[in-house]
Structure 1
Amino acid sequence: MTIIGMAKSDNTAAPRTLKTVTRSVDIINLLMELDRARLTEIADHVNMSKSTTYTYLKSLEKSGLISRTQNQYRLSANMLVYGGYVRNNNILYEIGKPEIDALATETGQYSHLVIEEHGRGINLYKAKGEEAVGDDYQIAKFQQRDYLHITASGKAILAYLPEERVREILNTHGLPSRTEETITDRDELFNELDDIRERGFAYNDEEEIEGFRAVGAPIRDRNGTILGSLSVSAPISIFKDERFYDEIPELVVNVANIIEVNINMSHRSSEITE
């Protein structure tokens, strides 16, 4: 087994990685994409022999991360334990959840609470309003990592990250197109991020899905560090221009501000009791 370490001649060199860990994660990601698969299919996808792949699968199965039924492998329900722990220990989820619920109720649409990790958007929580549409897409979206430049919540996060970090994300993930309206030019994106900082919120005008709009706002701590964002989305027929450009942005920014204040008050309260 390869031992993780640093190159002795260069203190700035990136740490080497364990191939066993990387390949195990590749298998986990593959099963999340395929839902379930047989040994041969998994081996073909990860480009390993069946015997080596079988060893990985048995190790993951023994660890409780995957399970096998009728010679098909899938992710184990134990994954819910890890995911639940991560989410429930996130202060943005703890404090933001009731506000996202209220936002979905008031607008009648889907509302999301989003964080950034490894350059992609993770949906920390979503709430459905009574008039919301697109249930299948929203369910799938909750299980995926979004490109930040295609969503209102993602652009709201990008706008308040350090520019060096934004460039790093773009170098890693690029600017793939989702619709004809998706921003795929770096200069155009940076101009858009300037506009977002100036007005305090982000638009998604058919950039993710044709005929769909969203408004997102950043959520920051008292030092201005971006914690995540929130958004609300709906078809154009519901988010018509006046509502999309005036009413919804004001509502979204107000909710983001409430979450920020509650988080800051929570931090202050902890400092007082220490």
Structure 2
Amino acid sequence: MKQAQRPKYFSPAADLASRILELLSRYRTKEGTLTEISNALGASKATCLRVLKTLVWHRLVRYDERTRRYSLGIQSVVVGIRAEENIDYLLQLRPYLREAAEKTDMTAVLVQQVSYDRMMYVAKQESDSRARVTVSVGNRFPITGVSYGKWLLAYASAEEREAVLAEGLRQHTEATVTDLDDYRAQLKAIRDAGVLISREEYVPGICAVSCPVLDHEGRFLGVIAVLGFASACDDDMLASVVETMREIGQRYSQGGGDVDRV
């Protein structure tokens, strides 16, 4: 979980273009003015403008002349779809997300680490229920700011785990575990259990049940979770969801991700 080092061959212009696209892919910063983008990235307005105009020309970014705000363009949609098609495990996991959403009647998500200190919703499958939790693909959060981060740390090396925990645990709700010894004990317990229940631990009113996604060699890829409203998650309902998620996680890991592409 160390921060990636700058490569030997590095293009500042390409770096800024990448950071702009990354910024606009986030839910909270999905659109912005030149000034907002420049301030967020710590780059000069003149440099940002040149890169933004180039991205607009390639239709990776669109510009609304009325609001003077930039957002992702149509070509970014194509890039995203092609990327998913070329990442085998994402295609393989899609049926599992659908199955999790259908069997639990909750919103199913795939969460992965995207930087040394952040995780992100990579894919989602919402249930048909009218009362469902809605999430935004691309939304990012600190590793210790969500229950999914416990899986990442549970499968991390001791050195990587302690580097993250050295920053401490912030209180999000009354149910948040902030004692480091209790947190470490939970990391060991969930590896043995294969499933994690989080009730209003980080977001009031939200309940999550998750399991790790492992490849056929047991390496950690990410987390599959289902989200629902805590008021609807009684003990009997959660018991059923836990068994569903445990079975889905075990089936994917044992099968090495070999599923039909539908």
TM-score by length of 1: 0.76
Equivalent residue in structure 2 for 1:103, among 100, 104, 107: 100
CA contact (8 A) 2:110 2:222 kept: yes
Structure of larger gyration radius:
1
Equivalent residue in structure 2 for 1:261, among 229, 242, 254: 254
Worse-matched range after superposition: 77-86 or 112-121:
112-121
CA distance in 2, matches of 1:166, 1:81: 36
Show the counterpart of 2:29: 34
- Aligned pair in 2 of structure 1 residues 139, 14: CA closer, same or farther (>3 Å)? closer
Deviation of 1:191 (Å)? 1.8
- Unpaired segments ≥5 residues, structure 1: 1-12, 267-274
- Aligned pair in 2 of structure 1 residues 181, 143: CA closer, same or farther (>3 Å)? same
TM-score by length of 2: 0.79
Equivalence map 1:66-85=2 (5 Å): 66-70=61-65, 71-85=68-82
Equivalence map 1:174-185=2 (5 Å): 175-185=169-179
Amino acid across the alignment from 2:119:
G
Show the counterpart of 2:217: 223
User: Equivalent residue of 1:257, what SS?
Assistant: helix
Worse-matched range after superposition: 100-109 or 51-60:
51-60
Equivalence map 1:154-165=2 (5 Å): 154-165=149-160
CA contact (8 A) 1:215 1:232 kept: yes
Runs of 4+ aligned residues of structure 1 deviating over 6 Å after TM superposition are: none
- Unpaired segments ≥5 residues, structure 2: none
Residue 93 in structure 1 maps to residue 90 in structure 2: yes
CA contact (8 A) 1:95 1:262 kept: no
Equivalence map 1:121-200=2 (5 Å): 121-131=119-129, 133-135=131-133, 138-140=134-136, 142-170=137-165, 175-200=169-194
Show the counterpart of 2:56: 61
Deviation of 1:252 (Å)? 0.7
Give RMSD over aligned pairs: 2.9
CA distance in 1, matches of 2:36, 2:257: 49
Deviation of 1:45 (Å)? 3.9
Q: What percent identity do the matched residue pairs reach?
A: 24
CA contact (8 A) 2:168 2:180 kept: no
Amino acid across the alignment from 1:84:
I
Equivalence map 1:198-237=2 (5 Å): 198-237=192-231
Deviation of 1:47 (Å)? 4.3
- Aligned pair in 2 of structure 1 residues 31, 108: CA closer, same or farther (>3 Å)? closer
Amino acid across the alignment from 1:162:
S
String of CA shifts for 1:180-206, please: whole Å, max 9, x gaps.
Answer: 323344433222101111212122121
Residue 52 in structure 1 maps to residue 50 in structure 2: no
CA contact (8 A) 2:103 2:244 kept: no
CA contact (8 A) 1:150 1:204 kept: no
Equivalent residue in structure 2 for 1:117, among 91, 114, 119: 114
CA distance in 1, matches of 2:234, 2:179: 27
Show the counterpart of 1:252: 245
